[in-house]
Amino acid sequence: MMTAEALVLRPKKIRRVAWACAVGLVVVFTVVGLLLGNTPTGVIFRTSDQIAMILLGFLLAGGVLLLTRPRVTADASGVDVRNVVTSHHFDWNDVLSVSFPDGAAWARLELPDDEYISVMAVQAVDRDYAVSSVRALRELHKAARN
């Protein structure tokens, strides 16, 4: 259970890029779907083909918007990590450290037995935000382990 002082982290740049791409996909597939009826090639496209093309644009946009899903919620008791598809909860006692290896795309939580979980909400492309996010997670981790 999260307290009122929970730290919530979400990626910044990828959210803007994903939304722009999703809108672009919907617009392009809608325009193509509407123009399918008038082709000089002799191919006959029905209304169902046009609707399917538009729906395909919405499906692809939905897939791109999955990239906006990552989030980390942390407080004194533990951390919840939600990536694109999976979600995990860890008590701070189960986390060895919060790291951001050189060249990595995102931060990670180091776990026992040489395991780790990627923290996709803290991405290298967010630069200063990523640095402050890792520092905040490390502070919570340090406070909980003492």
CATH code, 93: 2.30.29
Host domain of residue 48 = 7-67
Taking the chain, what is the end-to-end CA distance rounded to the nearest angstrom?
20
Domain closes at, from 67, 89, 110:
67
Q: pLDDT tens digits for 66-81?
A: 999 999 999 999 999 9
1, part of any domain: no
Backbone φ and ψ for 87, nearest 5 degrees, come out as -135, 145
Q: Provide, rounded to the nearest whole percent, the portion of the chain with pLDDT above 70.
A: 96
Average pLDDT, the chain: 93
- Which pLDDT score is estimated for 38? 66
Token duo for residue 77:
């008791």
- Rg (C-alpha) for the chain, rounded Å, is 21
Q: pLDDT tens digits for 114-123?
A: 999 999 999 9
CB atoms within 10 A of CB 146: 5
Is 58 in the same domain as 87?
A: no
Q: pLDDT tens digits for 45-63?
A: 889 999 999 999 999 999 9
Containing 108, the helix (H) or strand (E) segment is strand 106-111
- Which pLDDT score is estimated for 40? 74
Query: Nearest-CA neighbor of 130 among 91, 89, 99?
Result: 99
Is 19 in the same domain as 58?
A: yes
Is 110 in the same domain as 126?
A: yes
Is 62 in the same domain as 86?
A: no
Residue written as tokens 């929970």? 6
Q: Give the C-alpha separation, 124 to 74, whole Å.
A: 19
Backbone φ and ψ for 3, nearest 5 degrees, come out as -90, 180
How many domains are contained in the chain? 2
Please calculate the CA angle 64-65-69 and round it to the nearest 5 degrees.
125
Question: What is the average per-residue pLDDT within 126-130?
Answer: 95
57, part of any domain: yes
Is 139 in the same domain as 99?
A: yes
pTM: 0.83
2, part of any domain: no
How many residues are recorded in the chain? 146
Is 118 in the same domain as 89?
A: yes
Please name every residue paired with 80 in a beta bridge, in sequence order, or none if there are none: 73, 89
